[in-house]
Chain A
Amino acid sequence: MKHHDIMPAGQVGRSVPRLEGRQKVTGRAAYTHNLVLPGMLHAKVFRSTIPHGRILSIDTSAAAAVEGVHRVVTGEDLRAIVAEPYFGPAFHDQPALALDKVRHIGEPVAVVLAEDPYIAAEAARLIVATYEELDAVFDEVEAMTSSAIVHDVLKPAGTFPDLKHLVGKRDTNIALDYQLRRGDVDAAFASADHVYEHEFKSQQVMHTPLEPMVSLAAPDGDGLLIHTASQSPSFVRIEIARLLGWPENRVRVKVPYLGGGFGAKLYIKLEALVAILALMVKRPVKLSLTMEEQFFTITKHACTFRIKSAVSSEGRVTGRRCEVYWNGGAYADIGPRVTQKSGFTAPGPYDIENVSIDSYALYTNRPPAGALRGFGIPQLVWAYESHSDMIARDLGLDPVEFRRKNILREGRPHATGTLMHDAEIEGVLEKIAERMNWSAPFDRGEGHIKRGRGIAIAFKASISPTTSVAIVTIAADGCASLAISTVDMGQASDTAMAQILAEVLGLATEDIKVIHPDTDVTPYDMATLGSRSTFHMGHAVRLAGEHARRQLDELAVSLGYAPGAAYAPRDLFKKKYGMQAGNIVGVGSYIPDYTSPAPKTGLSDNITPFWMIGGTGVEIEIDTQTGAIKVLKLINAADLGLPLNPKIVETQLSGAALMQYGFTLFENMLFDEGQLTNGSLADYKIPGLNDIPPVIENHIVDARQTTGPFGAKGVGESATFGVSPAIANAIHDAVGVRLTELPLTPESIFNALRAAKSQAGKA
């Protein structure tokens, strides 16, 4: 379509304001929460009060007797519709309502359906369940050897080849044991000048999307229509169709805007339950969680990471052993993917000859853990970048210098054997060092206010192999609609995808209509996760646009235009059909190349379609009297290729960093024998406007993803990576104490100061 002279290109790379901004600020944007259907019933979940036990009885009679209650349903009742109502992306281990056993406090055991949500809630309080309590296990390391077994038999879903060997396994809590072996790590330790070994712990936290999870299912002819706040409409459709034994086309999944997702709304969550209930009562059923119920639904993995390094006296890391234990909670969700996909990056963005990684996904009797912005990377970086500083300090090396000596550079092999390309690890490190003014003298504070600074760098591989499909429809007046199943959950994917299409078609971004996920209309997309959309869907949209453009060009030639001559599409349609009529449909489908890791060694020559690089620098202040910490400056830098939309990139960087900032300084799900003790925002602190650092900088490092659409790649998580260790490193810099457990609370800093003082007193 050669009408660039009519409508200039330059759509990509422009800070186009979000297309949906006006709708959102004027309160007109549609959310599933606001959706009401005629005849709709409200569901309220009754939850387990014990961490592990066999269900002996569930008495629903009092609840059923409440006026306005339509029906009370238990797990066994669901079997009338679906004999084996177990779902999950990696394992078919999670029942829509507990069957036989409960595996964590807060697990759904029964559900009340009522005309009114308050009646449903009131009635749910009247349900009484009795259990035979079983021994429970809560800690991920204990789960390795515990006699308390969360699942009697492992039930991998069959989708992932590396889980097949687990089929039917008994008496284990290990849902995946991933390993990588490169070189000879034992020899490296034996011949090393220095060996360092440390253990780090990350805590369980919650995504806290401000729109809590919500799903609504309605019978629809001989099919089912599901409205849901989901990040993965295509997966929901496939999984519901599997459960019901239906073809995909009888299940229709619609997703409007999301009020945040962060990984909480991935794969399948409430959808299986509302789908079965709707078929059971033949009415629409809506389940809206409260903020507090989300704590029991999906969380971020707690993690223990033991890291050991062989280091030469010059400060080169020659060998590294990583043992990572992921606390997956009671259901696997996507935990085994976290274990593998993040696991292979556990040694960090460093050039290390000899590497050994063991990464374990573990079942415990805690609420399930899944994907959360970073997909396991922040837990790993927390360990390896704290470890980096501890080594550097011990060797008397500057932390930046130590990293310079060890980072993976262009063309060098990563631990998997994949050669590094388009990965500006150095660029990110140098940008942070420059913005921190690292080589200049630093004000260390006075009196009981001490100042310090710290940095961290990290990388992440994109999840692979995954597919995206896009459909572009050009109408007879020349305007374009884009049908994709990418979910705009606040990250502005609508805008970015419209920019790509506009660039290809020579239209204005603002004139493109992006059709929201509706599986009857929008084609397959693996999911909106792992910062994959820009790259994968971006390519699919580009291909669909090019496909449409080719057809227009061909149409022009067939109508007598000289090849390459300028035309306006609307003239082509008019000429062809004699009036404003017809369509051109362009289709694009994209899946990158990938080599899956060899089972025993974990090696692969093509482990990821692209690398995301992120780094953080902070300046902090500690009040040694109370341990109170203030972050004065937060610098984020990332390699995201060429930015499609610099302004949106900036908000992704600051947003990601601040989210991890909360996980670093305050957020912590606290448990007492499996019982969450701070499951409300009155106790569980998330960052607010008053908490954010006075200075935040976001830097897009000079880079280009040669394989990306318009040189771009993902950016939604990159600024989460380094925040925790950068702050811990800064604390050490300020007051000389090293914290190895998150979060970094004033009391933990204070206690470490006390311990250091009494240690010094003894010496």
Chain B
Amino acid sequence: MYDFQYLRPATVDEASRVLATQPDARPMSGGMSLLPATKQRLSHWSAIVDLGGVAGLDEIRMEHGALVIGARARHVSVLSSSVVRAAIPALAELAEGIGDPLVRNRGTIGGSVANADPAADYPAALLGLGATVVTNHREIAADDLFTGLFETALEAGEIITAVRFPVPKRAAYAKYRHPASRYAVVGAFVAETAEGVRVAVTGAASHVFRVPAFETALSKSLSQDALVGVTPAYGDLNADLFASSEYRAHVIGEMVRRAVQACLHPSTPSRNA
């Protein structure tokens, strides 16, 4: 009844061509978000272009001192990668806390980033680390990528091929997970980078955002004490069935504090609350 084409191109170029000619076609990576939405009739496409046939798109490697993760790298590959663990252990820990094993075995970083779910984890890492998204057309700084609720700066037909992460001095992610979906009610990524401390928060608003007040305070001193008395003014925070916006505002502070704690003492578990 809802017909669509299923295509499995072998190269990014081929995929690009299909997407360019069919405005209602859609790329698919792990399918963990696209397929449920399609099944529930929230969205419908003329063609699904499965990127699973493109060789090499799931590579994880170091390149010019930066960590490059292919768009098709699955969460399970990131969490178990020795390259990731050596360069940015916080990223592996973040991947370990996504969903459940079934989701981690299929879901990918490219799909997660393109999907821009307000409660997804990876966007916090991208923004927190100041990553760069590489597409078939260009490179986009994480700061410019996430524009709204499930909205990104990606253009129609634009395909993410990789994400490039500069390696921070220290970083950690703390997540307060929804008990049922396991998405972030609030997730905070804190990274000490060459340009200072970056703090990115997911789950709390329409899309991932940075918290300048915390960044300034923590750039002076990366410590829990630096956070005392800092009360950032947030824009519209999410209020939903699980948490009111007031509670979220409080939990942001707490997750940032835990992420800072984990930066200072990497052995303390930071991932979950």
Asked whether B273 lies within 8 Å of A626 as measured between CB atoms, the reply is yes
Given A682-B180, A684-B180, A685-B180, A747:B273 Cβ within 8 A = no
Q: Which residues of B contact A747 (CB under 8 A)?
A: 242-244, 247
Asked whether B180 lies within 8 Å of A626 as measured between CB atoms, the reply is no
Whether, in the assembled complex, A510 has its beta carbon less than 8 Å from a beta carbon of chain B, the answer is no
Find A626's partner among B178, B181, B244, B254 (CB 8 Å cutoff). B254
| Distance in angstroms between the alpha carbons of A683 and B1 in the assembled complex | 29
Asked whether A670 lies within 8 Å of B241 as measured between CB atoms, the reply is yes
Given A677-B241, A683-B241, A751:B180 Cβ within 8 A = no
| Distance in angstroms between the alpha carbons of A682 and B32 in the assembled complex | 14
Whether, in the assembled complex, A171 has its beta carbon less than 8 Å from a beta carbon of chain B, the answer is no
Asked whether A678 lies within 8 Å of B241 as measured between CB atoms, the reply is yes
Asked whether B179 lies within 8 Å of A666 as measured between CB atoms, the reply is yes
Query: Within the complex, what minimum Cβ distance (angstroms) separates A754 from chain B?
Result: 8
Q: Which residues of B contact A628 (CB under 8 A)?
A: 273
Whether, in the assembled complex, B250 has its beta carbon less than 8 Å from a beta carbon of chain A, the answer is yes
Query: Within the complex, what minimum Cβ distance (angstroms) separates A376 from chain B?
Result: 26
A residues neighboring B (CB under 8 Å): 118, 122, 623, 625-626, 628, 666, 670, 677-678, 681-686, 691, 745, 747, 750-751
| Distance in angstroms between the alpha carbons of A681 and B1 in the assembled complex | 27
Query: Within the complex, what minimum Cβ distance (angstroms) separates B51 from chain A?
Result: 25
Whether, in the assembled complex, B146 has its beta carbon less than 8 Å from a beta carbon of chain A, the answer is no
Asked whether B176 lies within 8 Å of A626 as measured between CB atoms, the reply is yes
Query: Within the complex, what minimum Cβ distance (angstroms) separates A674 from chain B?
Result: 16
Query: Within the complex, what minimum Cβ distance (angstroms) separates A671 from chain B?
Result: 11
**Residue of B with least CB distance to A66:** B1
Whether, in the assembled complex, B188 has its beta carbon less than 8 Å from a beta carbon of chain A, the answer is no
Given A626-B254, A626-B273, A750:B247 Cβ within 8 A = yes
| Distance in angstroms between the alpha carbons of A670 and B180 in the assembled complex | 14
Whether, in the assembled complex, B113 has its beta carbon less than 8 Å from a beta carbon of chain A, the answer is no
Asked whether A626 lies within 8 Å of B251 as measured between CB atoms, the reply is yes
Determine chain A's interface SS by DSSP, over half rule.
loop
Query: Within the complex, what minimum Cβ distance (angstroms) separates B68 from chain A?
Result: 33
**Residue of B with least CB distance to A685:** B180
Asked whether B241 lies within 8 Å of A751 as measured between CB atoms, the reply is no
Find A683's partner among B181, B243, B247, B254 (CB 8 Å cutoff). B181
| Distance in angstroms between the alpha carbons of A747 and B179 in the assembled complex | 13
| Distance in angstroms between the alpha carbons of A197 and B66 in the assembled complex | 65
Q: Which residues of B contact A118 (CB under 8 A)?
A: 1
Query: Within the complex, what minimum Cβ distance (angstroms) separates B152 from chain A?
Result: 23
| Distance in angstroms between the alpha carbons of A421 and B252 in the assembled complex | 56
| Distance in angstroms between the alpha carbons of A681 and B180 in the assembled complex | 7
Asked whether B1 lies within 8 Å of A122 as measured between CB atoms, the reply is yes
| Distance in angstroms between the alpha carbons of A13 and B257 in the assembled complex | 55
Q: Which residues of A contact B179 (CB under 8 A)?
A: 666, 685, 691
B:204-256 near A, CB below 8 Å? 241-244, 247, 250-251, 254
Query: Within the complex, what minimum Cβ distance (angstroms) separates A735 from chain B?
Result: 16
Given contacts A626-B176, A751-B247, 5 further A-B contacts (CB under 8 A): A118-B1, A626-B250, A626-B273, A683-B181, A747-B244
Asked whether A625 lies within 8 Å of B180 as measured between CB atoms, the reply is no
Q: Which residues of A contact B242 (CB under 8 A)?
A: 683, 745, 747
Query: Within the complex, what minimum Cβ distance (angstroms) separates A682 from chain B?
Result: 5
Query: Within the complex, what minimum Cβ distance (angstroms) separates A250 from chain B?
Result: 40
Query: Within the complex, what minimum Cβ distance (angstroms) separates B34 from chain A?
Result: 16
| Distance in angstroms between the alpha carbons of A747 and B241 in the assembled complex | 11
**Residue of A with least CB distance to B244:** A747
B:108-129 near A, CB below 8 Å? none
Asked whether B254 lies within 8 Å of A625 as measured between CB atoms, the reply is yes
For B243, B244, B250, the residue with the greatest tally of chain A CB atoms inside 10 Å of its CB is B250
Query: Within the complex, what minimum Cβ distance (angstroms) separates A468 from chain B?
Result: 39
Asked whether A623 lies within 8 Å of B244 as measured between CB atoms, the reply is no
Query: Within the complex, what minimum Cβ distance (angstroms) separates B234 from chain A?
Result: 17
For A626, A670, A677, A751, the residue with the greatest tally of chain B CB atoms inside 10 Å of its CB is A626
Closest 6 CB pairs of A and B: A685-B180, A685-B179, A747-B247, A625-B254, A682-B181, A678-B241
Query: Within the complex, what minimum Cβ distance (angstroms) separates B184 from chain A?
Result: 13
| Distance in angstroms between the alpha carbons of A623 and B250 in the assembled complex | 13
| Interface 1/0 per residue, B186-208 and A, CB below 8 Å | 00000000000000000000000
| Distance in angstroms between the alpha carbons of A416 and B206 in the assembled complex | 57
Name 18 A/B residue pairs within 8 A (Cβ), A-sorted.
Answer: A122-B1, A625-B254, A625-B257, A626-B254, A626-B273, A666-B179, A677-B241, A682-B180, A683-B180, A684-B180, A685-B178, A685-B180, A686-B180, A691-B179, A747-B242, A747-B243, A747-B247, A750-B247
Q: Which residues of B contact A751 (CB under 8 A)?
A: 247
**Residue of A with least CB distance to B180:** A685
**Residue of A with least CB distance to B247:** A747
